[in-house]
Structure 1
């Protein structure tokens, strides 16, 4: 799938982030927000940003695969973190690499949002994504 990552010189640059992604393909996969729930609707890692981030990313990968996409097909994502603090961000960042087998989340047009609450009172993390595939 042809993707073009654009980072204009007048905007900040980060290796794991793209200011703009232009993609073309024959199929778009929209993944609903993935939290840290197992397939029995049990929350994994109550009170633990690290554990919830690992499970949310694992669920994201599973959902992408169900739609015929891979992580590398993601062009946009939104990551919601309850009560976002520097400590929560550090745990989120560390857990991302572990959840993805030592790899970084591929650059995409991503947004991280600190929120007061999510859909379940004990959720700390939720991740949604859009992927474009051939």
Structure 2
């Protein structure tokens, strides 16, 4: 019987910790019904009911097939890229910068090649000199 109590206690602690982390890391627009400080107190002082209440009524549901944020009338913030490599604007700017650098590098090489060709044309040739 003691093992069951320990297991239930651990489940309660995990539930409360996950609810606290979710509450404290939620953005301001995702906290519903009560202010964030009140939710933290509810989660801490009502061991089982508080975390369950947070998950059911205190937060916006995430986007996705099970979430309700995609329904009409939702006040969920617009989707934003998680990382720079997921942002199409950032990727387009990288592509543009790469093309500009390639164009500049090609122009420098062409200029260098013209300069070397001119030097070779201006250099006196051994065949033009009279033999001694």
Which band: TM-score by shorter chain?
A: under 0.3
Kindly indicate which of the two structures has a greater share of residues assigned to helix.
Answer: 2
TM-score by length of 2: 0.23
Question: Whose radius of gyration is greater, 1 or 2?
Answer: 2
Return the TM-score normalized by structure 1.
0.23
